[in-house]
A and B are shown apart, each in its own frame.
Chain A
Amino acid sequence: MKIRFEKREKLHPVWKLLNPVICIVLALLACSFLVIAIGKDPVAAYGKLFSGGFGSAKKLSESILQAIPLMFCALGVSISFKMSINNIGAEGQYVMGAMAATGVALFCPWIPHALVIPAMIIAGFAAGALWAMLAVIPKAFWNVNETIITLMFNYVALLFVDFLLFGAWRDTSLNLNYSPAYPEYAMLPKVFGTRINSAIYIAIIAAVCIYLFFDKTTRGYQIRVIGSSVRAASYAGMNIRTNILIVMLFSGGLAGLAGVAQASGAVGRLQQNFANGTGYTAIIVAYLSKFNPFTVLIVSILFSGLSYGSVATQLVGVPDQVGVVIQGAILIFVLGGEIFSRNRLIITRREKETALAKKGATK
Chain B
Amino acid sequence: MTQPILEMRGITKRFPGVVANDHVDLTLYPGEIHALLGENGAGKSTLMNVLTGIYAPNEGHIRFKGQPVDLKSPKSAVDLGIGMVHQHFKLIEPLTVAENVFLYSGRCKAMLNTRDMNQCIKECSENLNLKVDPNAKIWQLSVGEQQRVEIIKLLFCGAELMILDEPTAVLTPQETVELFKTLRKMADQGKSVLFITHKLYEVMTFADRITVLRNGRSVDHMLTKDTTRQKLTNLMVGRDVLKVVPERDTAKSTREVLRLENICAMCDKGVPALNGLSLTIYGGEILGIAGVAGNGQRELSEVIAGLRRVTGGKMFLNGKEVTNLSSRDSIKKGIAFVPEDRMGMGLVANLDMVDNAMLRDYDVPPINRKGILNKKEAIRRTESFVKAHDIKNAGIKKPVRLMSGGNLQKLLIAREIHGNPDVVVAAYPVHGLDIGATETIHKVLMEQRARGAAILLISEDLEELFELSDRVAALYEGEVMGIIPIEKVTEEMYTRVGSLMLGDREESAAKEQTGGMAEA
Q: Do A and B bind each other?
A: yes
8 A Cβ contacts from A219-239 to B: 219, 221-222, 224-225, 228-229, 231-232, 234-237
Query: What 0/1 readout, one digit per residue, does chain B (366-388) give for beta carbons within 8 Å of chain A?
Result: 01100111010000000000000
Q: When the two chains form their complex, are residues A218 and B327 in contact, meaning their CB atoms are under 8 A apart?
A: no
Q: When the two chains form their complex, are residues A218 and B368 in contact, meaning their CB atoms are under 8 A apart?
A: yes
Residues of A within 8 A of B351 (CB): 224-225, 228
Residues of B within 8 A of A221 (CB): 355, 358, 362, 373
Bound-state CA distance A9–B399 (Å) is 11
Bound-state CA distance A215–B354 (Å) is 12
How many B residues touch the partner, as a band?
20 to 34
Q: When the two chains form their complex, are residues A232 and B362 in contact, meaning their CB atoms are under 8 A apart?
A: no
Interface residue SS majority, chain A: helix
Residue of B58, B339, B355 touching A235 (CB-CB under 8 A): B339
Q: When the two chains form their complex, are residues B331 and A237 in contact, meaning their CB atoms are under 8 A apart?
A: yes
Q: When the two chains form their complex, are residues A237 and B368 in contact, meaning their CB atoms are under 8 A apart?
A: no
Residues of A within 8 A of B402 (CB): 9-10
8 A Cβ contacts from B385-436 to A: 402
Given A217-B373, A237-B331, the answer on whether A232 and B326 have CB atoms closer than 8 Å is no
8 A Cβ contacts from A136-160 to B: none
Q: When the two chains form their complex, are residues A236 and B349 in contact, meaning their CB atoms are under 8 A apart?
A: no
Bound-state CA distance A236–B345 (Å) is 9
Residues of A within 8 A of B326 (CB): 237
Q: Determine whether A216 belongs to the interface, using a CB cutoff of 8 Å to chain B.
A: yes
Given A224-B355, A234-B307, the answer on whether A218 and B348 have CB atoms closer than 8 Å is no
Given A232-B359, A235-B337, the answer on whether A218 and B347 have CB atoms closer than 8 Å is no
Given A225-B351, A235-B327, the answer on whether A218 and B345 have CB atoms closer than 8 Å is no
8 A Cβ contacts from A143-180 to B: none
Q: Determine whether B185 belongs to the interface, using a CB cutoff of 8 Å to chain A.
A: no
Q: Determine whether A358 belongs to the interface, using a CB cutoff of 8 Å to chain B.
A: no
Bound-state CA distance A225–B347 (Å) is 10
Residues of A within 8 A of B363 (CB): 218, 237
Q: Determine whether B131 belongs to the interface, using a CB cutoff of 8 Å to chain A.
A: no
Q: Determine whether A39 belongs to the interface, using a CB cutoff of 8 Å to chain B.
A: no
Q: When the two chains form their complex, are residues A236 and B327 in contact, meaning their CB atoms are under 8 A apart?
A: yes
Q: Determine whether B243 belongs to the interface, using a CB cutoff of 8 Å to chain A.
A: no
Q: Determine whether B346 belongs to the interface, using a CB cutoff of 8 Å to chain A.
A: yes
Residues of A within 8 A of B331 (CB): 236-237
Given A237-B331, A360-B58, the answer on whether A231 and B344 have CB atoms closer than 8 Å is yes
Q: Determine whether A12 belongs to the interface, using a CB cutoff of 8 Å to chain B.
A: no
Q: Determine whether A352 belongs to the interface, using a CB cutoff of 8 Å to chain B.
A: no
Q: When the two chains form their complex, are residues B59 and A363 in contact, meaning their CB atoms are under 8 A apart?
A: yes
Q: When the two chains form their complex, are residues A232 and B344 in contact, meaning their CB atoms are under 8 A apart?
A: yes
Q: Determine whether B350 belongs to the interface, using a CB cutoff of 8 Å to chain A.
A: yes
8 A Cβ contacts from B332-348 to A: 337, 339, 344-348
Bound-state CA distance A224–B356 (Å) is 11
Given A229-B349, A237-B328, the answer on whether A216 and B344 have CB atoms closer than 8 Å is no
- How far does the Cβ of B61 sit from chain A's closest Cβ, in whole Å? 10
Q: When the two chains form their complex, are residues A235 and B307 in contact, meaning their CB atoms are under 8 A apart?
A: yes
- How far does the Cβ of B326 sit from chain A's closest Cβ, in whole Å? 7
Q: When the two chains form their complex, are residues B59 and A222 in contact, meaning their CB atoms are under 8 A apart?
A: no
Q: Determine whether B314 belongs to the interface, using a CB cutoff of 8 Å to chain A.
A: no
- How far does the Cβ of B329 sit from chain A's closest Cβ, in whole Å? 8
Residue of A9, A218, A225, A363 touching B371 (CB-CB under 8 A): A218
Residue of B329, B362, B368, B371 touching A236 (CB-CB under 8 A): B362
Q: Determine whether B360 belongs to the interface, using a CB cutoff of 8 Å to chain A.
A: yes
Residues of B within 8 A of A229 (CB): 344-345, 348-349
8 A Cβ contacts from B49-63 to A: 58-59
Q: When the two chains form their complex, are residues A236 and B350 in contact, meaning their CB atoms are under 8 A apart?
A: no
Residues of A within 8 A of B330 (CB): 237
Residues of B within 8 A of A225 (CB): 348, 351, 355, 359
Q: When the two chains form their complex, are residues A232 and B373 in contact, meaning their CB atoms are under 8 A apart?
A: no
Which residue on chain B has the smallest CB distance to residue A227?
B350
Bound-state CA distance A9–B355 (Å) is 20
Which residue on chain B has the smallest CB distance to residue A239?
B328
Q: When the two chains form their complex, are residues A222 and B362 in contact, meaning their CB atoms are under 8 A apart?
A: yes
Bound-state CA distance A222–B363 (Å) is 9
Q: When the two chains form their complex, are residues B360 and A236 in contact, meaning their CB atoms are under 8 A apart?
A: yes
Residues of B within 8 A of A234 (CB): 307, 327
Bound-state CA distance A237–B373 (Å) is 17
Bound-state CA distance A152–B371 (Å) is 35
- How far does the Cβ of B374 sit from chain A's closest Cβ, in whole Å? 10
- How far does the Cβ of A360 sit from chain B's closest Cβ, in whole Å? 6
Bound-state CA distance A173–B345 (Å) is 63
Q: When the two chains form their complex, are residues B362 and A218 in contact, meaning their CB atoms are under 8 A apart?
A: yes
Bound-state CA distance A218–B359 (Å) is 10
In the complex, 21 of the A-B residue pairs with CB atoms within 8 angstroms, ordered by the A residue number, are: A218-B362, A218-B363, A218-B371, A218-B372, A218-B373, A221-B355, A222-B362, A225-B348, A225-B351, A228-B348, A228-B349, A228-B351, A231-B345, A232-B345, A232-B347, A232-B359, A235-B305, A235-B339, A235-B346, A237-B306, A237-B331
| 17 additional A-B residue pairs with CB within 8 Å, beyond A236-B362, A360-B58 | A10-B402, A215-B373, A216-B373, A216-B375, A217-B371, A224-B351, A225-B348, A228-B348, A228-B349, A231-B344, A232-B359, A235-B327, A235-B360, A236-B327, A236-B360, A237-B329, A237-B330
Pairs A-B, 5 closest by C-beta atoms: A237-B328, A237-B327, A228-B350, A228-B348, A231-B345
